[in-house]
């Protein structure tokens, strides 16, 4: 009897996938079937959100790690992630994403929606940092090659990490943004811009108050 | 055993024995007569006896004596010139003694035989047991010869309180089994309990200690050993000093010790022969080894299937890259590799030394390497299974448990990730909590800090300090 | 030793029983204070209950019920049995829901509940000695993980929240602690092995553990707690050791899940003990 029960449980778990609430979730997906994302860039154009996703891939154990970019559009953030998920043969995996670059408009008016849709996803980490692009679009910033790392997204995230540690920027990971916004306090996001030689450089912080007002510090 | 009866007629008695062993050509009856008409029959089995002793200490005194009629007692006490010679009225005991290399002497006018110890069969000389090698320390190992084994224990323990209690077991093989303990140190209840269990054995033959072990051990279904086994006399003596009993079986170098608790499984005899710092470190490393061996495959599967977020990005990418083009998913890969490893191990155990090492090179190195390059399996899976296999060798007494637990935990973590692994491990702990060996909790000294002997547990204290703190099974701490 | 319930083991199972709540705690400052006050109150209750048992020379709750007239004792045992089953089911529901939201969205809730009940059954049928023995190392492991987890997230906390905490002080009692009462009924008290000290310590450790877990979540996440389904769980994951062990909340959760398994086993043991004492017909079934 006990064996039968165990067998049933095993069989139930080892099979297939299940459709839950419009989110595609598959069982027993191993590391080979997920697509790790290192960074995202979100912009708004013609009333549509546009998200450029930097995924990372490595084809063989001793092969090079290289970034790959693709772009999706949707009317809201949840749909953006859903569309991105539907585009891929693998699962969009945000766990390793540590930076999102947004345009100033989104930072001003849509930051709450963005954060809310991110915390709905169990795979997005709470320590994700949001940076604001200045003088160029977020995806330009994201796709600019870095001198330190082959993956621009990862280079940007280490850059922010380092500048936060030396207190150039205030420490505002996603959970703190959420906390401050709910408290009605101002938040400070790092600003990234393209330098004259075509590399990304950190600039100042942008302080966003709860009513959408901004000032640069 | 056959019902036999002797009379005062020598001819009849000899015929009775000849009838019993009628198709057995190793049975020899030598009639010895002296000048005055004394006739004795000397019966023995060829190959089992010391011929020189029979010729010089039995036949020569009989032939050269002057009596014409002697009683069995006189024969045993004055004529036969061998230290161990007795009159044995119990004919069944006589038969089994004869079949074990003793010589039976029958004489005219007596219905009681004389049994003389003339055992002289060849035995293997003592050597260091292969599976219990030490870096430093005694290298003697038990052999298949019963009495020699007992002598090895007696030689190390010159104490009048050392007791050897004999019995014969199994209907056909009538194997000699000896219960050995140190009176006054071993708990009397334990001795009684083991005797009771030994008496309840109903087998037709006992060829190895495991026959007995399976009949008397607690929790037959547990993969953890609840009876200790060793082939080394020094280990047996150490266990006796700790208040345990030893069961020595004839015909096998393996000696059982009871009770056996978990802490013994990570102890090795080296621990006591090497300097204390080195020994304690080795013991900790051994415990880590066995834990790693059990957990590593399950952890790999759990991380890869459910908790990829815990892995560094580049490591995840490398693992994912290794998976590309490989036919089996990681779980089945690990499963298959673990099974293949067990098959290789099993094959290696049964093959002769020279072929064995060749096979491990071909099986392990060449096959593994080519299978990875041919993308039949992924390199990380090979590494994981190799780590599990090698670390598992650290505690040989727990290898069987490790084999089972590896697979069980693998299934747990495949079903419920790290949560499954933790619940699986805690179920193992629960099993250990409920396990007993001869009424002694298996986790003794490990769980409760009250009354626990911690001196020789995870770390060993030096012998100088150990003096009065030694762990004695069945006795609580002073 | 076979049937002895050592005091430390009992202290451990009380601590583990409380810590099992660690994933689902409310994290407002008011709740944090209520946890702290409940800890003190329930430590006192434990102390008084065990002292009374010792005073009247009663071994445990079961013995107490057998001493009073059976028309009171038996229904009481039966009711306690039902409460134990209720707490067990509650544990099953909340854990399966947690798993569904955070880790295994596709595994049906009833299946993960079954897994918990299976572990609880494996342990619970062996009786409280085995469960208590099992709780002891589990408690050490869990407390070790929780302490490490608390320690490494200190740097991510917001100090000003800590400064403002005293403002929210109030005298509330957390209903979570009420469930401790059935666990308390499993404690034994004898002259040889007095359990008062260890059980009270167990409750204090468990209660303080809960308070600290909730406090950590509040100090780290602040108001964001209200937006997250399991703030205490999420707060454990904000640290990182280099690039490795990022999002280690699952390790923290594992230790709490282990507590939950012990808690369920304890409740199953209580239910079995109570029903067997209350309904004599059940005694013929082997454990």
- Pick from B309, B319, B379: CB nearest A123: B309
The closest alpha carbon to B308, from A92, C179, A135, A116, belongs to A92
Residues in chain A: 217
Q: How far is CA C198 from CA C7, C53, C151, C189, in A?
A: 6, 15, 25, 11
Q: Are C287 and C272 in contact (CB under 8 A)?
A: yes
Tell me, what's the pLDDT at A8? Answer: 62
Cβ separation B309–A58 shorter than 8 A: no
Which residues lie closer than 8 Å to C75 by C-beta, 6 or more apart?
C278
Tell me, what's the pLDDT at B449? Answer: 60
Is C121 strand, coil or helix?
Answer: helix
Cβ separation A10–B411 shorter than 8 A: yes
For chain B, what is the largest distance between any 2 Cα atoms, rounded to a whole number of angstroms?
A: 103
- Which residues in chain C are closer than 8 Å to B295, comparing Cβ atoms? none
Tell me, what's the pLDDT at B476? Answer: 65
Interface membership of B434 toward C (CB under 8 Å):
yes
User: Above 0.90 for ipTM, yes or no?
Assistant: yes
Interface membership of C141 toward A (CB under 8 Å):
no
C-alpha dihedral (C170, C171, C177, C179), degrees to nearest 10: -120
Cβ separation B312–C104 shorter than 8 A: no
Q: List the Cα angle B83/B84/B90 in 5-degree steps.
A: 155
Cβ separation C103–B449 shorter than 8 A: no
Q: Which of B45-49, B265-269, B451-455, C54-58 has the lowest mean pLDDT?
A: B451-455
Instruction: Kindly identify which residue of chain A lies nearest to residue B331, measuring between CA atoms.
Output: A30
Tell me, what's the pLDDT at B116? Answer: 94
pLDDT at B244 over 50: yes
CA neighbours within 13 Å on the CB side: how many for B390?
7
Structure tokens at B361: 């090179």
How far, in whole angstroms, is CA B208 from its chain's centroid? Answer: 8
Q: Which of B433-442, B469-478, C201-210 has the lowest mean pLDDT?
A: B469-478
pLDDT at B140 over 50: yes
Share of chain B above pLDDT 70, in %: 98
Tell me, what's the pLDDT at C2? Answer: 44
- Pick from C222, C238, C247: CB nearest A95: C247
Pick out chain A residues at pLDDT < 70. 1-32
Q: Nearest CA to CA, how far is C123 from chain A (Å)?
A: 15
What confidence tens digit (pLDDT) does each residue in B65-104 have? Answer: 988 888 999 999 999 999 999 999 998 889 988 988 999 9
Residue C281 belongs to a domain: no
The closest alpha carbon to B146, from B180, B119, B177, B101, belongs to B177
Beta bridge partners of B44: B28
Tell me, what's the pLDDT at A19? Answer: 42
Tell me, what's the pLDDT at A26? Answer: 43
Q: How confident is the model at residue C241 (pLDDT cuts 50, 70, 90)?
A: low
pLDDT at B477 over 90: no
Range of the domain at A207: 35-216
Cβ separation B415–A32 shorter than 8 A: no
Tell me, what's the pLDDT at B355? Answer: 80
User: Rounded to 5 degrees, what are φ and ψ at A36?
Assistant: -70, 135
Tell me, what's the pLDDT at A25? Answer: 42
C-alpha dihedral (B102, B103, B104, B107), degrees to nearest 10: -150
Tell me, what's the pLDDT at B135? Answer: 87
Split into its structural domains, chain A has a count of 1
Residue A64 belongs to a domain: yes
Tell me, what's the pLDDT at A21? Answer: 40
Q: List the Cα angle A175/A176/A181 in 5-degree steps.
A: 105
Cβ separation A58–B329 shorter than 8 A: no
pLDDT at B231 over 50: yes
- Pick from A13, A30, A65: CB nearest B323: A30
Instruction: Kindly identify which residue of chain C lies nearest to residue B315, measuring between CA atoms.
Output: C244
Range of the domain at C162: 7-276
What confidence tens digit (pLDDT) does each residue in B379-400 have? Answer: 999 999 999 999 998 888 999 9
| H-helix segments, C7-56 | 7-19, 29-55
Instruction: Give partners of B (≥3 CB pairs < 8 A).
Output: A, C
Q: Nearest CA to CA, how far is C117 from chain A (Å)?
A: 13
Interface membership of B422 toward C (CB under 8 Å):
yes
Provide the b/e sequence for C139-173 (b: ≥16 CB within 10 Å): bebbbebbeebbebbeebbbeebeeeeeeeeeeee
Q: Are C210 and C19 in contact (CB under 8 A)?
A: yes
Q: Are C49 and C57 in contact (CB under 8 A)?
A: no
Residue C265 belongs to a domain: yes
Q: How far apart are CA B190 and CA B244, in angstroms?
A: 8
Q: How confident is the model at residue C130 (pLDDT cuts 50, 70, 90)?
A: confident
Identify the sign of the CA torsion A28, A32, A34, A37: positive
Across the B:C interface, residue pairs with CB atoms under 8 Å apart total: 90
Split into its structural domains, chain C has a count of 1
Compute chain C's Rg from CA coordinates.
19
Residue C242 belongs to a domain: yes
Q: What is the DSSP string of C171-183?
A: ----GGGGGHHHH
Q: Are B459 and B243 in contact (CB under 8 A)?
A: no
Structure tokens at C178: 């009420």
Q: Judge if the upstream peptide bond of residue B259 is cis by omega within 30 degrees of 0.
A: yes
Q: How far apart are CA B253 and CA B231, in angstroms?
A: 6
Q: pLDDT averaged over chain B?
A: 89
- Pick from B311, B320, B414: CB nearest A32: B320
Q: pLDDT averaged over chain C?
A: 90
Tell me, what's the pLDDT at C240? Answer: 66
Check residue C95 and report its DSSP letter: H
User: Rounded to 5 degrees, what are φ and ψ at B381?
Assistant: -60, -40
Check residue A168 and report its DSSP letter: S
What confidence tens digit (pLDDT) does each residue in C1-21 have? Answer: 345 788 899 999 999 999 999
pLDDT at C211 over 50: yes
Q: How far is CA C37 from CA C40, C166, C171, C179, in A?
A: 5, 14, 7, 16
Across the A:C interface, residue pairs with CB atoms under 8 Å apart total: 60
- Which residues in chain A are closer than 8 Å to B309, comparing Cβ atoms? 95-96, 123, 125
Q: How many CB atoms lie within 10 A of CB C76?
A: 18
Which has more confidence, A152 or B123?
A152
Q: Are A67 and A150 in contact (CB under 8 A)?
A: yes
A57, with CB counted inside 10 A (0-12, 13-18, 19+), is: middle
Q: How confident is the model at residue B448 (pLDDT cuts 50, 70, 90)?
A: low
Residue C287 belongs to a domain: no
Q: How far is CA C13 from CA C7, C25, C123, C134, C272, in A?
A: 10, 19, 13, 9, 17
Q: How far apart are CA C77 and CA C83, in angstroms?
A: 10
Q: How far apart are CA B257 and CA B274, in angstroms?
A: 23
Structure tokens at B354: 């020279």
Q: Nearest CA to CA, how far is C203 from chain A (Å)?
A: 32
Q: Nearest CA to CA, how far is A207 from chain B (Å)?
A: 31
Q: Nearest CA to CA, how far is C223 from chain A (Å)?
A: 5
Cβ separation A23–C111 shorter than 8 A: no
What confidence tens digit (pLDDT) does each residue in B283-340 have? Answer: 999 999 999 999 999 999 999 988 888 888 888 888 888 888 889 989 999 999 999 9
- Pick from C2, C244, C254: CB nearest B418: C254
């Amino acid at each position: 009897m006990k064996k039968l029960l165990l067998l049933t449980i095993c069989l139930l778990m080892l099979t297939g996938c299940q459709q839950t609430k419009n989110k595609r979730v598959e069982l027993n997906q191993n590391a080979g079937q997920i697509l790790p994302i290192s960074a995202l860039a979100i912009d708004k154009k013609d009333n549509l959100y546009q998200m450029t996703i930097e995924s990372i891939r490595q084809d063989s154990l001793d092969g090079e790690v290289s970034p790959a970019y693709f772009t999706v559009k949707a009317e809201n953030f949840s749909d953006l992630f859903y569309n991105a998920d539907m585009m891929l043969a693998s699962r969009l995996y945000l766990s390793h994403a540590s930076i999102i670059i947004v345009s100033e408009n989104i930072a001003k008016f849509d930051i709450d929606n963005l954060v809310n849709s991110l915390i709905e996803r169990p795979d997005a980490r709470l320590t994700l940092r949001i940076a604001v692009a200045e003088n160029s679009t977020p995806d330009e910033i994201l796709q600019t090659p870095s001198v330190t790392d082959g993956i621009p997204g990862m280079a940007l995230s280490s850059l922010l990490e380092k500048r936060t540690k030396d207190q150039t920027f205030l420490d505002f990971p996603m959970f703190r943004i959420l906390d401050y916004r709910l408290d009605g306090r101002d938040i400070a996001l790092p600003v990234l811009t393209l330098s004259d030689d075509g590399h990304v450089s950190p600039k100042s912080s942008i302080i966003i108050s709860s009513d959408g007002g901004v000032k640069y510090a | 055993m056959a019902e036999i009866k002797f009379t005062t007629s020598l001819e009849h008695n000899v015929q009775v024995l000849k009838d019993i062993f009628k198709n057995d050509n190793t049975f020899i009856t030598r009639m010895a007569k002296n000048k005055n008409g004394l006739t004795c029959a000397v019966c023995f089995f060829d190959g089992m006896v010391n011929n020189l002793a029979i010729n010089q200490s039995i036949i020569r005194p009989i032939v050269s004596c002057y009596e014409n009629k002697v009683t069995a007692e006189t024969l045993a006490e004055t004529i036969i010139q061998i230290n161990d010679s007795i009159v044995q009225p119990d004919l069944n005991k006589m038969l089994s003694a004869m079949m074990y290399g003793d010589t039976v002497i029958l004489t005219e006018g007596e219905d009681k035989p004389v049994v003389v110890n003339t055992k002289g069969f060849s035995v293997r000389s003592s050597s260091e047991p292969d599976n219990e090698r030490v870096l430093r320390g005694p290298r003697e190992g038990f052999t298949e010869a019963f009495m020699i084994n007992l002598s090895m224990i007696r030689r190390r323990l010159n104490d009048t309180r050392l007791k050897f209690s004999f019995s014969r077991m199994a209907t056909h093989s009538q194997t000699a089994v000896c219960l050995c303990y140190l009176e006054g140190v071993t708990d009397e209840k334990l001795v009684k309990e083991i005797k009771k269990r030994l008496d309840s054995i109903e087998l037709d033959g006992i060829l190895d200690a495991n026959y007995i072990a399976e009949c008397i051990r607690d929790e037959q279904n547990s993969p953890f050993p609840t009876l200790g086994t060793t082939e080394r006399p020094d280990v047996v003596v150490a266990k006796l000093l700790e208040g345990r009993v030893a069961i020595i079986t004839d015909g096998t170098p393996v000696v059982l010790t009871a009770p056996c608790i978990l802490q013994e499984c990570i102890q090795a005899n080296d621990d006591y022969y090497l300097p204390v710092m080195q020994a304690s470190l080795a013991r900790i490393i051994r415990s880590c080894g066995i834990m790693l061996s059990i957990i590593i495959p399950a952890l790999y599967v759990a991380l890869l299937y459910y908790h990829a977020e815990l892995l560094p990005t580049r490591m995840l990418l490398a693992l994912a890259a290794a998976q590309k083009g490989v036919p089996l998913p990681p779980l089945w890969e690990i499963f298959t590799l673990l099974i293949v490893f067990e098959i290789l191990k099993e094959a290696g155990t049964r093959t002769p030394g020279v072929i064995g090492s060749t096979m491990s090179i071909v099986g392990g190195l060449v096959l593994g390497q080519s299978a990875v390059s041919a993308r039949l399996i992924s390199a990380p899976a090979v590494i994981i299974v190799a780590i599990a296999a090698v670390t598992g060798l650290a505690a040989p007494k727990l290898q069987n448990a490790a084999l089972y637990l590896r697979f069980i935990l693998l299934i747990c973590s495949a079903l419920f990730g790290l949560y499954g692994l933790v619940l699986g491990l805690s179920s193992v702990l629960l099993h250990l909590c409920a396990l007993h060996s001869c009424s002694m909790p298996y986790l003794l000294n490990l769980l409760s800090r009250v009354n626990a002997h911690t001196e020789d547990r995870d770390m060993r204290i030096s012998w100088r300090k150990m003096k009065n703190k030694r762990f004695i099974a069945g006795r609580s701490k002073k | 030793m076979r049937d002895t319930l050592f005091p430390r083991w009992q202290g451990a199972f009380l601590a583990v029983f409380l810590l099992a709540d660690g994933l689902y705690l409310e994290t407002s400052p008011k709740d944090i204070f209520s946890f702290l006050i409940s800890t003190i109150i329930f430590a006192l209750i434990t102390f008084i209950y065990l002292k009374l048992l010792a005073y009247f020379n009663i071994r445990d709750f079961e013995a107490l019920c057998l001493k009073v007239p059976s028309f009171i004792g038996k229904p009481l045992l039966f009711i306690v049995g039902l409460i134990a089953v209720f707490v067990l089911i509650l544990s099953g529901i909340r854990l399966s829901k947690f798993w569904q939201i955070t880790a295994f969205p596709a595994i049906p809730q009833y299946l993960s509940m079954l897994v918990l009940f299976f572990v609880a059954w494996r342990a619970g049928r062996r009786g409280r000695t085995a469960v208590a023995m099992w709780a002891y190392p589990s408690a050490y492991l869990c407390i070790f993980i929780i302490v490490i987890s608390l320690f490494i997230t200190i740097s991510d906390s917001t100090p000003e929240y800590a400064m403002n905490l005293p403002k929210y002080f109030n005298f509330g009692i957390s209903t979570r602690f009420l469930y401790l009462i059935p666990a308390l009924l499993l404690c034994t008290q004898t002259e040889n092995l007095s359990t008062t000290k260890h059980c009270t310590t167990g409750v204090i450790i468990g209660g303080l553990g809960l308070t600290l877990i909730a406090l950590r979540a509040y100090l780290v996440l602040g108001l964001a707690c209200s937006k997250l389904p399991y703030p205490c769980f999420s707060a454990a994951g904000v640290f990182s050791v280099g690039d490795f062990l990022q999002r280690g909340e699952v390790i923290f959760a594992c230790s709490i899940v282990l507590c939950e398994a012990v808690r369920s086993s304890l409740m199953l043991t209580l239910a079995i003990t109570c029903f067997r004492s209350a309904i004599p017909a059940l005694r013929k079934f082997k454990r």
